[in-house]
Structures are given as structure tokens and as C-alpha cells.
Structure 1
């Protein structure tokens, strides 16, 4: 038997596979490497801070909590007691869908930072990071995705149409963990309550059940 007539053997992780399966696994590995280079790997620490944008690049729309925003529309500089308008924004730090703006006083050149959304406290078991407070808008986005049965990609498609900066995967996963943990706890409590109710009804109607049997 000559060398040309020999069949080529394909192995993947110690197991013999067909050429079709081998080529598929190779393509999957390449795709996985590309995704990790863009979104990061599972072992990486989740970073909620996405980006900082200079004032000349500020554009598009943002999701704001009106009451929180109104508190900063007429803001006085603590150094010189001068009114600081919001159009003096010089920097933006995005944490998911929330933003922290930095405005500069025209008089003393002092800088003031303020957020456009409010925060809530998070239990230790409900977060993937050391942060013990999350912005409401990010948690509500993850909650809405869970209720709608969609994921981060679907949210970002809608945000792109609205010209709102995207919700990056690390931030989304952090808040998905928060929402998922609470949802599991609520489901567990609901199952326990239903079991107790079923037990009570069975005890109350034990005579009827005996007659049926």
C-alpha cells in the first residue's frame, strides 16, 4: 500500500474524529480566540467602568434619572459659589448605561463630578465584583432582558438604534448575576410556599381524598 492510499487520521483532544469534525473544532477555536480578544475571558475580573470620553466626543443620547439630573441642573461651585452650567462638561465616565459627568467652573476652573442615575446596595452573593452598590439603570436593563428572554446582544442592537452607548458584556454579566440570584431566591420561596399550601389543603381534605381512593 503506497502513501497516497493511506487515509489521514484526525485526532482532537485524544479522540479520533472525522475530518469534518476536526475542521469544525479548529474554526470554533479561532472564533473563541477572536471573541476573547474583544470581550475578555471568563477569568478576567469584571470591570464596570467602560470608558472615559472627552468633551469634544460627547454625542448621542443617555438614559437619565430625572430627579437625580434635576439636582445638578443648577449646581454651585463649592469653591467660588458660582453657578456651573451642564454645558461646561469636560469629561464623561460611563459605567454601563450610567454616566458620571465632570463639569468645570468657568470662574475658578474647579471640576465637579456628578452621576445621572441613582444607586442601590447589593448583597455580597449577588455580585461578581467588590462593588457593593450598582446603578439602577444597569440592573433594570438586565432585569428587562431576563423578562423578555433576550441577552446583551439584543439590548445593544436597540441601544445602537437609539444612539446610546452600548452595555458591554462584563457589566451586563455582573448585573445579570445580581438579578439572577434574586430571581432564584424568589422562585425557591415560591416553591416552598406552594408546597406548604398543598400540604395544608391535603390535611384539610383528607376524608375526601380517602373516598376518592
Structure 2
């Protein structure tokens, strides 16, 4: 029988100090590896264009939104710093070349939804069309993948459904 000094609890079970040290070292090395991979991914993504692929865009809405919020100068999509995707709708963060202010530029219209939230027109109409066609989010994402358009998550599809 083992001495009680060599046995400790880890995750609700008894284990030896030697096994505990091995497990904690493994957990620490996994955290380091994950941190290193995240740093590499961030450094690679900063070099790339933040918006790759195609988007579904309402031309009139995009044209109306491509104006700087402070100096009313026309904005260029070449100065996009980041993108926030809301299903098939995107909101670009564009830097003004004159005053360097960052402005939000939406690619489509929004309307009032449930719980006092704004929802995207393109998401609503796409989900409605796919529901009427009798197919679901998997078929939608297959079509979007062929078109090189970022996909809509199944949770978002259900929310709009």
C-alpha cells in the first residue's frame, strides 16, 4: 500500500505526485503550443487582405454608406482595415484617407427584428428562400462554398428561420 504523502488529488481522483507533475507539464506545453499557433495566425492574417472572396452587396446601400462620418469624404474599399460578418451581410471598418477616422460601412440594409434587434435583409431573404425551397443550412453552405462567399452558421440560419 502506498504512503499517503505520495498520493494527491487531481480532477477528483487520487494520483501520485509523479503522474501529477507529468500531467501539469503536458497541460502547460499544450497551452504554449496553442498560444504560439494563435500568434502565428495573427501575424499571417495581418499581412493578408482582411476581406478575401466574394460578398453579396446591395450596391445602393454600399454607395450610400461609403462616406466618412467626420469629414464626409468618399471612402475607398482599398482602405478596409477589418470586416465584421453577420451571416451574409458584412460591415467593413474603412479608414478615411483624409482624416484617418475609421467608419463602419454596411454592405446591405438592416430592418427591425424581434427583441429590438436589427437584422439583415439579405439573411432574412436567403433563409426564407431556402425554407420555401425545402432545403436547409447545409445546402446553403454548399452553394456559398462554390461561390467563394463566407458561409452562414447553422445557428444563425435557425435564428432567421
Q: Distance in 2 between matches of 1:174 and 1:69?
A: 25
Whichever structure has more helix as a proportion of its residues is 1
Q: TM-score, normalised by structure 1?
A: 0.50
Match of 2:65 in 1: 72
Matched, 1:94 2:79: no
Matched, 1:142 2:133: no
Q: Secondary structure at the match of 2:126?
A: helix
Q: Secondary structure at the match of 1:92?
A: strand
Matched, 1:154 2:154: no
Q: Secondary structure at the match of 1:107?
A: coil
Distance 1:85 1:145, change over 3 A: same
Match of 1:166 in 2: 151
Match of 1:133 in 2: 118
Q: Distance in 1 between matches of 2:74 and 2:126?
A: 34
Q: 1:56 aligns with which of 29, 40, 49?
A: 49
Distance 1:57 1:89, change over 3 A: closer
Unpaired runs of 5+ residues, structure 2, are: 1-44
Deviations 1:143-186 (A, max 9, x none): 0111110000000000000000001111111001xxxxxxxxxx
Distance 1:80 1:134, change over 3 A: closer
Deviations 1:73-132 (A, max 9, x none): 4x2x343454322221111000011000010012322100021111122244xxxxxx52
Q: Secondary structure at the match of 1:144?
A: helix
